Amino acid sequence: MSRFDSGTDQLLCEVKDRVCVFTLNRPDARNALAPEMTGALGRGISWAAAADDVGAVLITGAGSAFCAGGDVKAMGARNSGSKPPPMEKQFQALKARHMAIGGALYQMRKPTIAALPGAAAGAGMAIALACDMRICSDHAFLTTGYARIGLSGDYGIAWLLTRVVGPARARELLLSSRRVTADEALTLGLVNRVTTSEDLLRVAIEWAREFANGPGVAHAYIKDNLDEALFVDHPTAIEKEADRLLKSRTTQDHKEAVAAFAEKREPVFKGE
């Protein structure tokens, strides 16, 4: 089995039963993002996307929070420090970091889940939204948070939030930065499931395991179809779906599923 070494205690990684679990590990700072952590997470996402023995990715946070977003204390130190690099250099570095995490998560063709033990704020909320699905504890809350510290947003949060909850709700949540409780998040569709803090990781891993051991090729095609559904017209969607359906018919997973149906047993998918 392949293994990813994050090179830092700020990001833990474990692969079991084809589920790759990344744990943001700065609990004393509510897992606020730091350069060491974000660099490792970007490398880890890239590794998991290509790893043959990874069928699904789960991202969670150590302690009582998922991720508090950017480290506000570090922002203060940066603002009071020496002369910053040129604006263009800062822009290119920000874009690369955000694409390596949020962009890569959204583009990954394997199922992805965010498990929120507590607060998901700012960039932390954006990272959760970049995953396919979200599960949170009943004590968790989400907030865009940016307006409270005079910032406009990053990691593609406006784009993601608009697609998850719609334009009107996205505008409200970004402009107000108000907290959304677990129950309201479920109602709005910000999360798919709510469970207790004690059961969160177990339930999330069990859920991820179902996807990890599913028909990997079909999952990738399904994600393609869903992504295109946001911008293509209906005839184009039908055409694209037909093409991918024909391709998925040729997979070993489809043949195994048909055989399992005839034999009245559960299929054993191999992602091929």
CATH of the domain at 93: 3.90.226.10
In a domain? residue 25 = yes
Whether 25 and 47 map to the same domain: the answer is yes
Whether 115 and 152 map to the same domain: the answer is yes
pLDDT at 272: 86
**Domain C-terminal end among 212, 229, 244:** 212
In a domain? residue 256 = yes
Residue 78: pLDDT over 60 = no
Residues 12-22 have a mean pLDDT of 97
- Cβ partners under 8 Å of residue 39, min gap 6: 97
Residue count of the chain: 272
Show the beta-strand stretches assigned E in 139-217. 141-143, 180-181, 193-195
Q: Domain total for the chain? A: 2
Whether 185 and 225 map to the same domain: the answer is no
Residue 245 CB neighbours (<10 A): 13
Six-digit token string for 43: 């490398």
> Strand, coil or helix: what is 193?
strand
**Domain C-terminal end among 179, 196, 212:** 212
pLDDT at 76: 54
Q: How confident is the model at residue 75 (pLDDT cuts 50, 70, 90)?
A: low
In a domain? residue 113 = yes
pLDDT at 2: 75
In a domain? residue 101 = yes
pLDDT at 116: 98
Give percent above pLDDT 90 in the chain. 92
Q: Which domain holds residue 228?
A: 216-262
Whether 157 and 197 map to the same domain: the answer is yes
Whether 206 and 230 map to the same domain: the answer is no
Whether 185 and 238 map to the same domain: the answer is no
**Which helix or strand (DSSP H or E) is residue 239 part of?**
helix 234-249
Residues 207-227 have a mean pLDDT of 97
In a domain? residue 162 = yes
State the Cα–Cα distance between residues 31 and 63, nearest whole angstrom.
Answer: 8
The strands making up 120-121's β-sheet, listed across from edge to edge, are 120-121, 141-143, 180-181
Whether 113 and 226 map to the same domain: the answer is no
Whether 117 and 188 map to the same domain: the answer is yes
Whether 230 and 180 map to the same domain: the answer is no
Distance set, CA 3 to CA 7, 43, 113, 118, 210 (Å)? 12, 12, 20, 28, 21
Residues 117-129 have a mean pLDDT of 98
Whether 141 and 69 map to the same domain: the answer is yes
DSSP label at residue 132: S
Residue 22 — φ and ψ, nearest 5°? -100, 125
Whether 97 and 177 map to the same domain: the answer is yes
